[in-house]
Amino acid sequence: MRRPPAPPNRPVPAPPPFDPTAARRLRAGLGMGPEHVAYGMRASYGLFHVTPEHVIAWERGVAAPSTPELKALAGVLWCSPGELIGRPRTLREHRLARGFAPEDVARAVGLEPLAYLRMEEGGGWHGTERQAAALAGLLDLSLADLVTVTGREPRLAELLRGAVTTRWQAYTRPLAKLLPLDRRLLEDVLQELHLDYQGRMTATLSRGGGGAGAGEGGREFLDRIVQNFWTTVEAYSV
């Protein structure tokens, strides 16, 4: 029986964010040179194209290893792939950081492998809340990470901008539906962010006298509203 042709124009996933400093530090800690690393990747993993020059380029940040190269490099350096990756952002990057195959994740969260891969490659999460919780447990995702990989960050940013620029009280309920946070904690954080934003706007307007630079501090705050939100949540949770 003839195998059906592969679907055309299937997107090729980008490699995960590589951490050159970690690779260099781990190699040095093992007392290995780039030539030893390259030899190990060739001899143990069959990546015969890898040379010391490849390893040097990765460590200098002028190139990044592919996914197979990253896994082999981690094996040679006696570490997990996650130790060679910068802070993951996408679902695929989190999976690779934990060293799971797509099938492992799909099975653990109760999805068909093909359905999971479509979500991973398309950047959209369509699982249930139960499946999202299982995903967070498997990949050790923080709430901030889970919001990002399930595609809820744009909605979070929209609601937060509304909360700090208008009446924050009106946004407590929609944010509570979006995030499993204690209601009192959420209210305290929103009030803090609102006061911070309004203070920045007042100070910038006072300095700028209403000119072209007026509101610059507020705009910068809004550009980082999601990061500011999670930082404040962490501070209030201590």
pLDDT tens-place string over residues 33-92: 999 999 999 999 999 999 999 999 999 988 989 989 999 999 999 998 888 887 777 898
Whole-number average pLDDT of the chain: 86
Under a CB-based contact definition with an 8 Å cutoff, are residues 22 and 78 in contact? no
Residue 9 has pLDDT above 60, yes or no: no
Query: What is the rounded CA–CA span in Å between residue 91 and residue 94?
Result: 5
CA distances from 181 to 67, 72, 104, 172 (A): 36, 40, 29, 11
Give the tens place of pLDDT for each residue, 135-144. Answer: 999 999 999 9
User: What's this model's pTM, rounded to 2 decimal places?
Assistant: 0.64
Of residues 42 and 211, more confidence is placed in: 42
Under a CB-based contact definition with an 8 Å cutoff, are residues 72 and 45 in contact? yes
Q: What is the pLDDT of residue 16?
A: 60
Q: In 3D, which of 75, 78, 96 has the Cα closest to residue 87?
A: 96
Half-sphere exposure of 41 (CA within 13 A, CB side): 26
As a three-state string, the secondary structure of 111-148 is CCHHHHHHHHHHCCCCCCHHHHHHHHHHHCCCHHHHHH
